[in-house]
A = this chain, B = another copy of it.
Amino acid sequence: MKKYTEMSKEELLHEKESLEEAYREYQKRGLSLNMARGKPSVEQLELSMPMLDVLHSQADLVCQDGSDCRNYGEPVGIPEARALMASMMEDDPENVFVFGNSSLNVMYDTVARAMLFGVCGSTPWCRLPEVKFLCPVPGYDRHFKITESFNIQMINIPMKEDGPDMDLVEKYVNNDPAVKGIWCVPKFANPTGTVYSDEVVSRFAHLTPAAEDFRIYWDNAYCVHYLYEDNQPQIPEILSECAAAGHPDMVYKFASTSKVTFAGSGISALASSKRNLDDIKRHLVVQTIGHDKMNQLRHARFLKDHDNVIRHMMKHAAILRPKFEALEKVLDDELISRGIGKFEKPLGGYFIAYEGPDNTAKAIVKAAKECGVVLTGAGAPFPYGKDPDDKWIRLAPSFPTLEDLKQAAAIFAVCARLVYAKQLLGE
């Protein structure tokens, strides 16, 4: 396929005209398609329906420590749920607290506690003149919304092929005591799909923060969310890496079953050092009567252990993989072959990040919307919603049916080509 940059003006004009024709044809169909959000599809949700049948009788409701899960009780999670989440997170159950249905809520509360009470005895952040977080970009919009809502200054850290730019991370963390945290999605990063390399994880563990209350906010949201049976990348376990490097308290790890069982009714967990967990528990027992233990028990009984979770995730993969591959094929055939942008094929997670030519993302998202395809807003994967190059678009292929997805991808490609053709023509 001829690259757009190699086309003559005439060729580009012709290209543009035929794309406009195609665009108008799509518009006439009055479509309503959506690739905006990493939502599991209905078929995926159906995979966990047997979970609704594991709790029946009074006897079923008693958990391993002998307590009745229906009543008040343990604020940090029932034993079998701690064991389950620990197996998913590669931690010991005693390092894991299990919470409610939203790991985002756990992260928010972790930052809120630091604002109000500090971290392990440090000055509450609300009393400091400035607090900064490092934000690998493109990244997860809802992480950035949390820090933005607390008026925490966010600093962009470019993502490389194997994780965040660690030279920059080290420069900030090791020198600036106002830098209190960094948002990380270490495996199948949202939205690039990046898997942190061993070296990147090791450099994280060897950070020597200027701030005693600096923590790595390690959101292992996609820890078991593989797309392929035979290619399941592993990363070093960050808690033990930090401990080995002499920084046992430097990380909070988060995970959930939102994309394992039910997106809105999963369970979430935080793994950390004893010192950090004690610091959290002190506040947790004031904040809540404890999280929903019946749902924790339901999960533990249904998902059982790590191996069974992986088997379950392969059923998700069988549904997701054709969608990812269909989208990748359209991107390859229609855009990459013409030299328009690039993307990495992810091995897991929920997203494909399309890196278009500079100054095209907003225009593509707008064109797609006007043609019936809703995409994540351009800029969303950046702090303050500002992509400095206006080039990244997050594509979420999970929710639509395969047919809808193919149509949405085709429209996306037409929009991306059209916007770039116009740009090259100086329109």
A157, chain B: closest CB distance, angstroms: 22
Residues of B within 8 A of A283 (CB): 149
A58 to B73, CA, bound (A): 32
- Cβ < 8 Å to B, chain A residues 22-66: 37, 39-40, 42, 45-46, 48-49, 52, 55-58, 61
Given contacts A45-B61, A52-B56, A100-B292, 11 further A-B contacts (CB under 8 A): A45-B68, A52-B55, A71-B263, A72-B263, A105-B288, A112-B116, A115-B116, A115-B126, A124-B126, A146-B286, A149-B283
Per-position binary interface string of chain A over residues 386-415, scored 1 when its CB falls under 8 Å from any chain B CB and 0 otherwise: 000000000000000000000000000000
Residues of B within 8 A of A291 (CB): 100-102
A278, chain B: closest CB distance, angstroms: 15
A361, chain B: closest CB distance, angstroms: 24
Most buried by B among A124, A291, A292: A292
- Answer whether residue A294 sits at the interface, using C-beta atoms and an 8 A cutoff: yes
Pick from B55, B61, B286, B292: contact of A101, CB under 8 Å: B292
A149 to B287, CA, bound (A): 9
A249 to B145, CA, bound (A): 27
Q: Are B71 and A264 in contact (CB under 8 A)?
A: yes
A342, chain B: closest CB distance, angstroms: 29
Q: Are B262 and A294 in contact (CB under 8 A)?
A: yes
Residue of B nearest to A262 (CB): B70
Query: Interface size for chain A: under 10, 10 to 19, 20 to 34, or 35 or more residues?
Result: 35 or more
A70 to B46, CA, bound (A): 9
- Answer whether residue A258 sits at the interface, using C-beta atoms and an 8 A cutoff: yes
Residues of B within 8 A of A46 (CB): 58
Q: List 22 A-B contacts (CB under 8 A).
A: A39-B71, A45-B71, A46-B58, A49-B58, A69-B265, A71-B262, A100-B292, A101-B292, A102-B289, A102-B291, A104-B287, A105-B288, A109-B287, A112-B116, A116-B150, A124-B126, A126-B127, A145-B286, A146-B287, A262-B294, A263-B289, A264-B292
Residues of B within 8 A of A52 (CB): 55-56
A286 to B145, CA, bound (A): 6
- Answer whether residue A290 sits at the interface, using C-beta atoms and an 8 A cutoff: yes
With A112-B116, A283-B149, A289-B258 already in contact, the answer to whether A73 and B104 are too (CB < 8 A) is no
A426, chain B: closest CB distance, angstroms: 41
- Answer whether residue A293 sits at the interface, using C-beta atoms and an 8 A cutoff: yes
Residues of B within 8 A of A293 (CB): 264-265
